[in-house]
Amino acid sequence: MLLNYLKIAWRVLLRRKFFTFISLFGISFTLMVLLVVFALFDHLTGAHMPEKRMDRMLFVSSLRQEMQDNQGWMNSPMSVRFIDTYVRTMKTPERVALTSSVGNATAFANNKLMPLDIRYTDGEFWNIMEFDFLDGRAFTASEVKQSQPVCVVNEATARAYFGTAVGVVGKIIEIDLKRFRVAGVVPNVSAAHIYSYSDVWVPYTLSRNVFSDNRLSGDFIPVLLAPSAAKVDEMYAEYNQVISRVEIPNPKEVMKIYSWADPVLASFTRQLFFDSTTKTGASGLEKFYLIVSVLGLLFMLLPTLNLVNLNVTRILERSSEIGVRKAFGASSRTLVGQFLVENVVLACLGGALGLLMAAATLALLNDLHVVAYAQFNLSGRVFGYGLLLTLFFGLLSGVYPAWKMSRLNPAVALHGNADRN
């Protein structure tokens, strides 16, 4: 039975090539856009090198200080003192690291100015992030403590400065008129991974933003690694308890401080949706998912309605065929099943085209280097989303036409007037 349905579906699609083309274009273009968005989202939040243990990691992106006398808010990363005094004393994390935001630096290679992004980290950073070293090693906690002028560079920087990515360990690279000894070379990290990306990594003790006073704000972001994914919520709760015990060094100026340890996506949405009037701990993640879901459904609604109209038109043109089948005993359930199979076949063809178009679009984005060092691709998870969307699209656009077809009166249909019931 199913094989016969598939054969009929194929013949129907070939019968009206223009309708088939319009339907396939609507399905494939819609799925292409959604799959590209899914791929970009997966690249940002998924477990990719070097953030392979994303399900166990939390990031403290900022420290919010509410000023006295309604003088506003001060929002910034943390000082080393704050991290050492409060964050590193936590019991739940397996490891705690710190990293700075990416800064700008310059080097000269072959008499040309070479702009670089530089990040300051500690030794634990390399134990949390899982880099695949092409050559050498990471700098150690001892080298950080001793403020050794060592660095790790990415492949692109090594090739641009030394002409090769291997055999450069121990060589000197001059950045901002300072000399650093190369300890290791790592593959290029996508700029979308904002907590690990850089061209050059150096010990944080060489940063000018390491202060010796008791200020809370600074230039560094703690990165917390839980012993397991099941411990992440416990680590989140402990951080909240730690924040409640923080001693404010300047209470005449600062009334209260707020800070949260978040997964990577929540660290973005908290900044985007933070409400200074309620001061709640809501990350805004639910609001973000709601907005994205509504926009996605609205984006799918127009091509779905168009496809429904095309399917209804196609049914009305086949009214005589449907009338004959009903006259010979075909049940409404059988006819509905046949039409849904036809629609799913059409959706699957459109889905396949959508996957190919999405792969081509992502390859184009990679070639254009829209995001530095990013390599977008259709992962297995994204492919699964595409398959589900294809089936959803096929069923959603086929339910109403199938129901309308099941209600056709056989006698009226045989006379070629399917608009009447």
Mean pLDDT for 63-73 is 87
Note the pLDDT of residue 276.
55
- Whether the pLDDT of residue 49 is over 60: the answer is yes
| One-letter amino acid for residue 288 of the chain | F
Which two tokens mark 37? 């968005």
Question: What does the alpha-carbon distance between residue 388 and residue 396 come to, in Å, rounded to a whole number?
Answer: 12
- Whether the pLDDT of residue 116 is over 70: the answer is yes
Question: What does the alpha-carbon distance between residue 321 and residue 15 come to, in Å, rounded to a whole number?
Answer: 14
What share of the chain has pLDDT > 90, as a percent? 50
Mean pLDDT for 324-334 is 67
- Residue 260 binned pLDDT confidence (cut-offs 50, 70, 90): very high
- Whether the pLDDT of residue 336 is over 80: the answer is no
Question: What does the alpha-carbon distance between residue 35 and residue 47 come to, in Å, rounded to a whole number?
Answer: 18
How many C-beta atoms surround the C-beta of residue 112 within 10 A?
Answer: 8
How many C-beta atoms surround the C-beta of residue 170 within 10 A?
Answer: 10
Residue 73's alpha-carbon distances to 65, 216, 252, 255, in angstroms, are 6, 14, 14, 10
| Contact between 44 and 194 (Cβ < 8 Å) | no
Q: Beta 112-121 vs 200-203: how paired, if at all?
A: parallel
Tens of pLDDT, residue by residue over 105-114, are: 999 988 889 9
SS3 state of residue 373: coil
More confident residue, 344 or 10: 344
- Whether the pLDDT of residue 420 is over 50: the answer is no
Of 344, 305, 326, which Cα lies nearest the Cα of 418? Answer: 326
- Residue 388 binned pLDDT confidence (cut-offs 50, 70, 90): confident
Tens of pLDDT, residue by residue over 117-168, are: 999 999 999 999 999 999 999 999 999 999 999 999 999 999 999 999 999 9
- Residue 352 binned pLDDT confidence (cut-offs 50, 70, 90): confident
- Whether the pLDDT of residue 242 is over 50: the answer is yes
Note the pLDDT of residue 278.
52
Mean pLDDT for 40-57 is 91
pTM: 0.82
- Residue 415 binned pLDDT confidence (cut-offs 50, 70, 90): low
Q: List Cβ neighbours of 384 (8 Å cut-off, separation of 6 or more).
A: none
